[in-house]
Amino acid sequence: MLKPALFLDRDGVVIDYIPYLSKPEQIKIPDGAGEALKQWQDAGYRLILITNQSGVERGYFTLNELEAVHRRIINEYQKFGVDFHDILTCPHHPSKGCQCRKPSPYLILEASKKYRISIYQSFLIGDSASDLECAIRSGCQPVLLLTGRGKYTVQQIDNYPVKIPVYNKLSQTVELLSKIRTEVES
């Protein structure tokens, strides 16, 4: 049986936005984010980070440093009982034209095959145009946060072919779970 997923951008969503963050000690979890992701997880959603990290190919940090950052994120969220199913990363420079860099849906589509995910029941929460476009191209529901780059992204929200829910912070997205339950019950 296919399961839904909550795909999440990393910077500006799961952790506070710092351009080219490279050190575990720079990580700050947004207020209420741990509790919110625990609710999504408890509702049956697989939590998967999908992140562009071109700082690797730009030489700003190494893959080992990136892994250390991801271990710290995992450890910080485990304090809330949150377990990420996977962290999928594109380390390439935007000019490479690789298939894995958002807005390409490649990483979502690969995760959906690997983990038997129902994309049409899934969400992608992000703060950038590339996140929204990735969600739309893959067939899952985009959700915009006004954190990180979201304040700029929202200015273009009317240009998208689907209605995109907008929230000030990750903790507020649990409202979608109530809407889903209401739809299922009716």
Domain boundaries, the chain: 5-120+132-185
- Catalytic choice (9, 16, 31, 127): 9
Q: Of these residues, 11, 86, 127, 158, which one is catalytic?
A: 11
Mean pLDDT calculated for residue range 117-146? 97
16 catalytically annotated: no
Please classify residue 79 by burial: count the beta carbons closer than 10 Å to its beta carbon, then call 0-12 exposed, 13-18 middle and 19+ buried. Answer: exposed
What pLDDT score was predicted for residue 33? Answer: 98
* 9 in active site: yes
CATH number corresponding to 5-120+132-185: 3.40.50.1000
Output phi, psi for 149, to 5 deg.
Answer: -95, 5
User: SS3 of 124, please?
Assistant: strand
Give me the pLDDT at residue 181, please.
76
What whole-number distance in Å separates Cα of residue 83 and Cα of residue 90? 21
Sign of CA dihedral 49, 18, 69, 58: positive
* Residue-level pLDDT at 183: 76
pTM, whole model, 2 decimals?
0.96
pLDDT of residue 51: 98
Residue 3 sits at φ, ψ, to 5 deg, of -115, 155
The secondary structure element, H or E, covering residue 113 is helix 106-114
In DSSP terms, which residues pair with 88 in a beta bridge? Answer: 50
CA torsion, ordered 59, 66, 130, 112, to nearest 10 deg: 130
88-119 burial, b at 16+ Cβ within 10 Å, e below that, comes to: bbbbbeeeeeeebbbbbbbbbbebbeeeebeb
The band of 184, judged by pLDDT with boundaries at 50, 70 and 90, is: low
